[in-house]
Amino acid sequence: MNEQSRPESPGSTDADVAAVSERDVDVATHRVVDADGSVVDPEAVPDLADDRFLDLYRWMVLQRTFDERATKLQRRGLLGTYASGQGQEASIIGSAFALTDDDWIFPYGREAGALLMHGLSMRDLLLYWRGVEDASRMEGANVFGFAISIGSHIPVATGKAWGQKLDGSDAVSFVNLGDGATSTGAFHEGINFAGVLGVPAVFFTQNNQYAISMPFEEQTAADTVAQKAIAYGMDGIRVDGNDVLAVYNAVATARERALAGDPVLVEAVTYRRAAHTTSDDPTRYREDEEVEEWERRDPVERYRSFLADRGLLEAVDEEAIREEVSELFDEAVAAADAYPERDVAELFRYVHAEPTPELERQLEEFRDLLDRRPEMHDHIEHRPKG
């Protein structure tokens, strides 16, 4: 193009060009129980037996108790790190409660209660947070390894769901992810392909308002996560993530649609009340008032109000649940302590089915280093001292 052919002023026109815009998307937020504990939509209360309603509560208290105990264990130097789900109990438990044991769960880290509900042992979960990778193989439970590389499990789950579809299975792949994960390339690739292939996958985004210190508004220009589904040709469901019954409804519905060949992106709007992990200090990037505001929207309290309304609260012995979980926790810590030492060579062994010559070389170099610097053993042993 030469100088003369360039327009004098770029891009000005009076033409009325039709465009789809965010204003065209009105994403309603599904809710069954209000923040003050009253039922807003009696029709939407799931049709569950009383003992199932109570079970749901038990699992929420388990999630909270496990988080408290694990955080303390880390403080004593007995876990490497820990990511608490405090404030997200309704999202974590309500979603897991809508799944079957045949479904596959692709975890992202905060959903201890969901994994325990679906067959993972507490010992293996604790060993995972001690950095023992072979326990994270999570045998016996349909639980994939944790997605430490954010979003990396999304395309993998799509692949698993494709396999489920080809096998004619009646199980789904359920992915737990954070709002931050929706800004990764893997999210786009995984979700796009799920839409194209019509696989039985549910992508469950816990929008807890932060990706470490990055607030949701600074991470995406979109108003909601749920609306992103439209671009992938799938349904999006937005739900109050502190309303356990609404979350249960949303995931049960999404699961049915997914099995019928329509994968769904669910957004549960919630809040991460604890630090990102035990190595983070959230007072550096958010105000106490904000945290207090979300404490008033506590998911466990809200569900208690619902149970009280139904006359079910008398059947709940919260102290007994906490004690039972604490006992199981103590036993799990003892079992984790008794777990055999692992050979550091496993770090290299589990990368490929057959180690490459380069990996063999790296392993030799590593062993050499350990011979020369015996004090390094203290840093790589999984079993904490004391």
Binding site for ligand TPP (CB under 6 A): 110, 148-150, 178-181, 208, 210-212, 272, 276
Q: Is 82 a catalytic residue?
A: no
Inter-residue contact 81 to 277 (CB < 8 Å): yes
Rounded least distance, CB 180 to ligand TPP, Å: 3
383 burial (CB, 10 Å; 0-12 / 13-18 / 19+) is middle
Q: How far is the CB of 180 from Mg ion (least distance, A)?
A: 5
Please list the residues that pair with 201 across neighbouring strands. 173
Q: CB nearer to Mg ion: give 82 or 210.
A: 210
Find the part of the chain contacting Mg ion (CB under 5 A) among 151-159, 201-209, 279-287, 319-327.
Answer: 201-209
Is 190 an interacting residue with respect to Mg ion (CB under 5 A)?
A: no
Identified catalytic residue from 30, 272, 297, 302: 272
Burial class (CB in 10 A: 0-12, 13-18, 19+), 256: middle
Residue 179 interacting with Mg ion (CB under 5 A): yes
Six-digit token string for 69:
């105990």
69, 255, 276, 297: the catalytic one is 276
Regarding 176 and contact with Mg ion (CB under 5 A), the answer is no
| Single residue of 91, 121, 208, 224 touching Mg ion by CB under 5 A | 208
Residues linked to residue 290 through DSSP beta bridges, in sequence order: none
Nearer to ligand TPP, 120 or 181 (CB): 181
Binding-site partner at residue 165 among Mg ion, ligand TPP, none, CB < 5 to 8 Å by type: none
Q: How far is CA 206 from CA 91, 238, 254, 272, 296, in A?
A: 7, 10, 15, 9, 19
Amino acid present at 73:
L
150 touches, from Mg ion, ligand TPP, none (C-beta below 5 to 8 Å by class)? ligand TPP
Report the C-alpha gap between 129 and 79 in whole angstroms: 6
Q: What residue 79 binds from ligand TPP, Mg ion, none (CB within 5 to 8 A, per partner kind)?
A: none
State phi, psi for 93 to the nearest 5 degrees: -80, -40
Closest approach, Cβ 379 to ligand TPP, in A, equals: 21
Q: Which does 181 bind (CB under 5 to 8 A by kind): Mg ion, ligand TPP, none?
A: ligand TPP
**Residue 110 binding partner per list Mg ion, ligand TPP, none, with a CB distance cut-off of 5 to 8 Å that depends on partner kind:** ligand TPP
CA angle, 102 as apex, 98 and 108 as ends, to 5°? Answer: 65
272 is catalytic: yes
Measured between alpha carbons, how far is residue 16 from residues 19, 66, 177 in Å? 9, 58, 40
For residue 364, CA distances in Å to 236, 319, 328, 371 come to: 50, 53, 40, 11
- Residue 232 among the catalytic residues: no
- Which of residues 33 and 175 has its CB atom nearest to ligand TPP in the complex? 175
Binding interface with Mg ion (CB under 5 A):
178-180, 208, 210-211
Q: Which residues are catalytic?
A: 272, 276, 285
